[in-house]
Structures are given as structure tokens and as C-alpha cells.
Structure 1
């Protein structure tokens, strides 16, 4: 494809790997079609065809699997396995995702220091220096000896809405859209690139074809606006939403390669040399999917073998026993009435925080609860995020508003059965934004309009008074208002529990040895007209 006046730039993209390096299901140990070890085989095959290809990770690399948790908390001073893999594959750059901060700035700083590639994020700024906090906002690569390519990195500025404040101390998070506008104009003037790539750890707030809003426009995702409002972007890499997308918006080639290493993104940009210089003649985006024909790269497998073996031994440690049944067979049923596993979650949270009202979430639809023998593997597959706990002082009015917000999760299907509101499924799965409470009694009637679904709300058998104050424990993501729980923003923080939920559960089980599965039947969801 290359000659003196033609060249095709190949850009390979990963995003939202979430610690999935090996093609392993950490619940069952079965092989799956995912992970960087298999993606590596695709990358190496592409590199044989295009030795000058660009390789970019778009964020959320360091958190998400038991393997990643072990590396972050018990891995000692060794290089994080995810960083070792990206070094081996000769990534050109990585962009900071919101989950990069989950284990604090010390671990993130070590990951950045151990990387043989730059970490980019133009909008995350050091409050003291007012400069990008992680080094370079963008990098310049010259391809085919004369094609000047710039990769600008930017991260959703919504991180303070979710992250433990301790983990982001001294940092400011500037509006991503405004950051891209400012830096793109500066790059076009100062660098005059032939190709400008923006790698944005954020997603699309609007439908790619119609431009109609696909979610509540909060600013968390701004990719569509970047395409429509920012001049000079040739390629926009996106992520955060865990969607698989390819296309073009307002002349900008766009891609989002899903999550967990199920696919490798590929953008091909064809150039033609003219008298005035190189010009882009075409741009195409595609997703290279993993299947059983793609073998895991042996170099990557060997590179992570020792850490993986240590992780597996650690995961099989027994933590405690359950007397009774805490298994989850149907996540919708679990969310529609009080369940022993959720009651256990709330009990652990109340015990850790020293309060008697708690709110918890079933984090994803793959959670299976606990069987009779609980190992660390079981704990980490149910508690996948390293959330800590926060106690907020809330009024009865705040609690009712929060219940109305959580009740929006449901809808009544055409056949009259209980279903999930599509807004919690598209454009991104948000099952974790439905909450279940302990320490109060309530009923949600999905037959009523959204905002009017709380039909019973009691505390110790008495109606909850609107102006009465209560101390409530919840995860730090929710306490910051994450998931559109705006009623929590600005509320008094009574205390914080800095140990993450997986550690709290493990500690509780070890302390009590045997835990009885208990269901209080204190709340339910109904569909009565």
C-alpha cells in the first residue's frame, strides 16, 4: 500500500481492559475470548503488515479483575502486570481512565513511572503548577519519515463525582470538551499535524446517526459534541461506556472497542502526497473480534505466569461459611424484594460504619452471591469495584428522593411483568445504579409514574418524617452523587471508612467464621395498578 506518494496509517486501540490480561474467568477458571494476551496476538499480526502502526490504550486498565486487585494490593514493588504487558507490546501512549485512580495516587504514580510510554490527559491538572498532572497532554509521532501525527489524550472530568477524594488530592479535572477545544486549536497552530487523533476516556452522549441525546446530558460523556463543535479532529477514540462502536460523525472517524479486551480497535487513515504536503483521502474504522481461533500470545502468558499463579493461590483461601442460602439465581428477582445476600451487604456496611441504616447495590448481573463455603475468589467476583464507604447525614426527604431515583430502574413490560428501564441498559449497562436499603421498610410501586413510586416508607414501624435526620452508610461512588443521585451532593459527611468493600467482607467473614443467611422482608417492588 505504501509508495512514494501514498501511505496508510494504522492505529490500534484498546480501551477499558479492566485488568483482563489473561483469557480467564476468575470465577470458574474457564478460558474466555477476551484479554490482552489474546489481543497481543492480533497486535503482532497487524504489526507484521504495518510496522509503523500506532498503538494506544484509552484508559481503565489497572482495575477490574481479581488479578488486578491482587497486583494493586499485594503485588509488592514489582511492576504492575498490566504495565509490563503494555511495555512488552510497545504501546505508544495510554490515556488515564477514571478507574486508574481507584487504588490511590501512589500506585498510579508507580504505574506511570514503570511505563515505557507516556500517559496522557490534558484536562487533569496539578492544582499547584496548573500544568497537566501526568506529564504530556499529547505526543507527536512522525510516520513514513514525513507524516506528522499528534495524539491528544483527555479524560472525562466527572471523576470527582465518583472517586474517593483521598485518591485525587491536589488534582483539578477540567471540562473535557473545553480542554479538547483549547488544545486542538493550539496543536493545529503550533504543530500543524497531518493527522490529529484525540483519545478520550469518555463516550457518546448522543446517537451517532440522529444526534438525539442517548442519555441525560450531564457532561460525563461528550464525544458527540467533540465531533460537532471542535474543528480539526481527524480521529476520535472513545471508551468508558463499554460499547463497541465504529463510524463517522461530522467527518471525524470514531471508534470504541468495548471492554475487557473482547476486541481490538483499528482505524486506517490513507494519505496521498500532494505538492502542498500530505492529505487524508479516506478513513475507516473496524473492530477485530476475538474468537477461539485467536491464541493467547505465549510471551504475554509467560510474562504474567508468576503473578497469575500467586493470584490463584490467594483466591482459593477460605474466608468463612454461610449457614443457609445467599446465592443469586435471578438478578431481577434479587432487586425486586429483600434478599439474604443484599441484607448481608448492608449488615457488613452498618457494622463497619457504626450506623443502622445502609444502602447497597448488586454491582452486576453476573454476581452469584455466596454459597456455603466462601473464598476470596467469591468475594472479589461479587465486589468488583474497590469502593470504600461514606456515612452521610440525610433527611427523611433525602431518603425518599433517593428511593424515587432508584425506583426509576424499573418498568412494566408489555406482558405486565417487571422489567428494567432501557435507560439502565443503553447506551451503557448501569445495573449498579439501583440501590437496596437496610434499616428502613419501604415499597416501590412501578405501576405509578417515575417520581411517585414510593408508596410506603417506615423506620421502626413509624412513617419516616421529612425533616428527621439519619446517618446512612453507602459506597463512596454513591455518596458523591454518582448515578444521578443528586440529593446526596453537598450533604454532611459524618465519617469515612477507608477499607474497601472486598476487604471489609473478608474481614467480617473471618471474624464471625459462620454467618447465617437472613432475610428481613422489609422492602419489595410491586406492579399493582
Structure 2
């Protein structure tokens, strides 16, 4: 007797429900509403289905930001939708903590499905955060499937410490070694749903990133006996039809553009079920009309969010728009200077750093709304003033300077380390309050050829106070020189709110730029 089980997985939805881009309200081929139409079609055709969300669900768009900050008395809209779609479980992702533990706990309480993560535990008791390390689902035939939830252990390097107080993040591989053997005794099939990605090339096994423990997918497949299927995420990659050491792996991208599908054929033998075949594929949601039930459920939340987004905040006199993201990163511009000025004003410091988070940022036109602010500053970051040495500053600038590479045709490109497996434009910082030059003719680690503060050379051993976002202050983005440094001041207000308040207070802002930093290109290749 044979039976086929179908696993459908979403990951890294990041609050995207409707098929649109909030910065412009233009149509886009993405969102949970389209993925929901696909999921309903497939589940209606197939018996024996398991539906999992693999994390980073409740944060990422103005819709979820508005809910978290201004409408949190209502049920979490992302939970509302997963309840409607009858998801079997969700895994805790790193961005689930961004709005604080109380809102996450509320969202878990509102869910009709369990939230899984075996390696996120309370420090005192060692118990899983929400008491659910795994799920076991029984099918009509008697076949049992176990799903173990795991989350990238790197969260303390990014998250606001107040949001994860009293919580420990254990090594995902060691946790799997503990749980998987026990689950093999309880179930016929063991699936690990891991909000993390791959640290090595799937085919060759060669490292593709610094082995920090952020991603351990390859290690899980190689070192943990008994895993049949590994569902992954976090890196926003599209991975299908792959196996590592006999483990079927898949990763369904981001924003609901694809749904992962794993098909497992089992055969009953001597009272138990054995896996006889496995295959994985990505199902594109492109071409599907948004599910009407999802549209109806999200409508009250969306209406409030859109009204909030269109609120006028202030006026810009001059040019603060972005036409070319690369040009914005190659020279000081009014938009980046404005964000740094907001940060310095809030913190009372003379030095600041920030980033242009992605290539969709358009900057500010003459009339600024909340839509403009949250479209350019897309993360719910807060600020910290960190005391660092001049040596730390130089190392941080060298880290940013490695963002650039020279192409053979004499153009500037993005270092693959900042673009593969996913874009990491947010890890290139631009500073204000100091003067510096990045010389692309120099090798990595030697590109900062000028570095001064108030006209004097920055002293390696002197101390400087710098305001930066909480992600960077914790060492996020491989800025290890900041980790563990003294926090002089904590500003627990979202930067987007600080920007709105800055504009509201002044009404009109003059677009200005002091050109305090530059990227120097080799003259022979201009």
C-alpha cells in the first residue's frame, strides 16, 4: 500500500499580502493573496497535505508596521490570514521579534496553529519559547509526519536586546541532534522546518559565506541523522529539486511569489511507513488572481494603513530624490545626509551612519508623506549611541568599502558578498560628521585613504560616539567591531517615526549636502 503526502511551504512573506508596492501603490506580482489562491487550488486537488509557514511572516510592509504601532488591539492580520488558510504550523523567524515580544506573544495566542522553534528557549527553564518545538500530524492511513521547527541562532546579533530579554538561542544543529532521533521514534517521516539557509554551495559543499552559524542548512543535512526533508528560508533564495546527503531541500523565495511543494511517496511495510520517493518543486504564484477571501479579510487593515500612508508630513525644497541607487552610494547625497542629521538630532551626537537599504528607494519629492518615509526607511530600527575607537571606525569603513568591485569594463559593481545569495545593500553604510575617502584602486582592507574628524586625523586609540541603528550596533552585517561596545544612549523610537517628527516640527527642509565623503575611482578606468 502506497500513500503520497504533499507539503506546501511559504517563507519570508514579510507582511506582503496584496499584489502591490507600497512606495507607489503600483501593481506587483507578489503577495500572500496570490499565494493563497495557489495553495487553495493545490490542497483541493490533493489529500494528505501539510501546510507550513517557515518564518518572517509578521513584519516587513507598511501594512504590518501600521498594525503593530497603531492598530495592535485587533488580531494580527497575518495570523488572521493563516488561520483562514488553515496552516498547520508556523516557524518563528528572526523578524518576528522586531515589534517586541508582547506583540509576538499576542500573535501566537491568536493563532489557531502552533508556532515552532526548538532552539529558542527561556534562559531560566530551558523550555521552548512558546512550548512547541515540534508538530506531529496523523494522516488517515495511519502514516505520521513530524515537523521540527528551528530558527537561525544569530538573532542576538541583530535584535534589540529588550525584545529578546530572558531568551536563549541555541545552536540549531545541536538542537536537531537532540530532537530528530526522538521524533524518528514517534513518526514515519521527519521534516525540519528551519528559518535559516545554506552556508555552503549545495553541489560542492564549499563555503559561500563566513561560517558564523547564521545559516546551517548544509550542516544540518550532513550531521543530523534521520532528516527526510529540510524546509529552509531566511536567504530569500529559490531552491528546488535538490538533495544534500539524501535530504530533500527546498527554499521558496520571498514575498509570496512562490510556494514550495515537497511530494513524498510512502509504502506500508510491517506495520510502518517507509519513504520510497521524494521530490521538491517551486510553484509560482504569478498569473493567479488574488484570493477574494484574503482580500476581504485584509481590507479593513489595508484601508487604515493607506489612509495613514497618505498623511502629509512636510515639504522638501531642493532635490532629495534618487534616480540611481549606485550613484547614491558613490557620493554624499542630500537624502543620506538628511537621515544622518535626523539621527544626530535625536541622539545629540556629532557622528552618524546609515544605509540606503534597498534599490527601490526613491528618496523624497517636494511633498513628503508617511508613504515616502516608510518606503525609504523600511525597517523598524531604533537607534543607539555606541562608543568606539578610531580603529573600530576605520575597520567599519573598510567593511563598507568592500561593497564595491571594479568590473573588467571599467564600471563599478557590487561585491557578490553583498548580493549573493540575497541583496545586502543595507550592509553598506554612509557616514556623516567625519570626512573620508574610499579609493577603489586599493585592495580590500586598505581603501580608506582619508579619515578626519573636525579637521584632525582620526586617532586609532581615541574614543568617538557614533549613532547608528540597533542592528548595526549589535554587530549585524559582519560589523563585529561594534559588538559588545559601550552603549552611551538608547533611543527606543523607530527611526521612521523620528524622521516624521523631524519633518513635522520644521515643516520645510532644505535639501543640502556637504560632500564630506566620496568614492574615488581609478583614473585609468574612468
On whether the aligned pair clears a TM of 0.5, the verdict is yes
Instruction: Report the alpha carbon displacement of residue 20 of structure 1 after superposing the two structures with TM.
Output: 0.4
Equivalent residues in 2 for 1:426-465, closer than 5 Å: 426-465=420-459
**Length-normalised TM-score, structure 1:** 0.97
Residue number in structure 1 paired with 2:188: 194
Does residue 50 (structure 1) correspond to residue 46 (structure 2)? The answer is: yes
Shift of 1:185: 2.2
> 2: distance between equivalents of 1:483 and 1:117?
33
Kept in 1, the 8 Å contact 2:5–2:47? The answer is no
The gaps in structure 2 that reach 5 residues or longer are none
Residue-by-residue CA offset, 1:217-251 (whole Å, 9 max, x unaligned):
11100000101111000000000001111111111
Residue 376 of structure 2, aligned match among 382, 389, 399: 382
Q: Distance between the aligned counterparts of 1:304 and 1:428, measured in 2?
A: 29
- Report the 3-state secondary structure (helix = DSSP H, G, I; strand = E; otherwise coil) of the residue aligned with 2:398: helix
Structure 2 counterpart of 1:223: 217
1:419 aligns with 2:413: yes
CA distance in 1, matches of 2:110, 2:48: 24
SS in 1 for 2:65: helix
Q: Who is 2:263 aligned against? A: 268
Q: Distance in 2 between matches of 1:343 and 1:467?
A: 27
2:13 to 14, 17, 35: 17
Q: Within the alignment, does 1:523 sit opposite 2:520 as a pair?
A: no
Q: Which residue of 2 aligns with 1:147?
A: 143
Tell me by how many angstroms 1:490 deviates: 1.5
Q: Deviations over 1:19-38 (max 9, x none)?
A: 00111211222222111111
Q: How many residues are paired up?
A: 522
Superposition CA RMSD, Å:
1.0
The separation in 2 between residues aligned to 1:526 and 1:416, in whole angstroms, is 13
DSSP 3-state at the match of 2:27: coil
- The superposition leaves residues 343-392 of structure 1 with CA deviations (integer Å, 9 ceiling, x where unpaired) of 00100000001101001011111111111111001111111110000101
- Once the two structures are TM-superposed, the CA of residue 146 in structure 1 deviates from its matched residue by 0.8
| 2:116 corresponding residue in structure 1 | 120
**Residue of structure 2 in register with 1:254 after alignment:** 249
Q: Which runs of 5+ in 1 are unaligned?
A: none
Quote the residue 1:393 is aligned against. 387
Task: Give the distance between the partners of 2:145 and 2:122, measured in 1 at CA.
Answer: 26
- Is 1:67 aligned to 2:63, yes or no? yes
CA distance in 2, matches of 1:47, 1:187: 26
- Cα deviation, 1:130-174, whole Å, max 9, x if unaligned, reads 100112100110113311110000100100000000111110110
SS in 2 for 1:304: helix
Q: Higher mean Cα deviation, 25-34 or 278-287?
A: 25-34
- Provide the residue aligned with 1:494 in structure 2: 488
CA distance in structure 1 between the aligned counterparts of 2:489 and 2:47, rounded to whole angstroms: 54
Report the equivalent of 1:105.
Answer: 101
SS of the residue corresponding to residue 510 of structure 1 reads helix
Deviation at 1:278, TM superposition (A): 1.3
Which residue in 1 is equivalent to 2:314? 320
| Other structure's SS at 2:168 match | strand
| Alignment-derived partner of residue 297 in structure 2 | 303
Query: C-alpha displacement at 1:80, in angstroms?
Result: 0.8
Deviation at 1:276, TM superposition (A): 4.9
Q: Partners in 2 of 1:100 and 1:339 — Cα distance?
A: 33
Give the distance between the partners of 1:445 and 1:263, measured in 2 at CA.
41
Contact 1:118 1:135 in 2 (8 A): no
**Consecutive aligned runs of 4 or more in structure 1 exceeding 6 Å deviation:** none
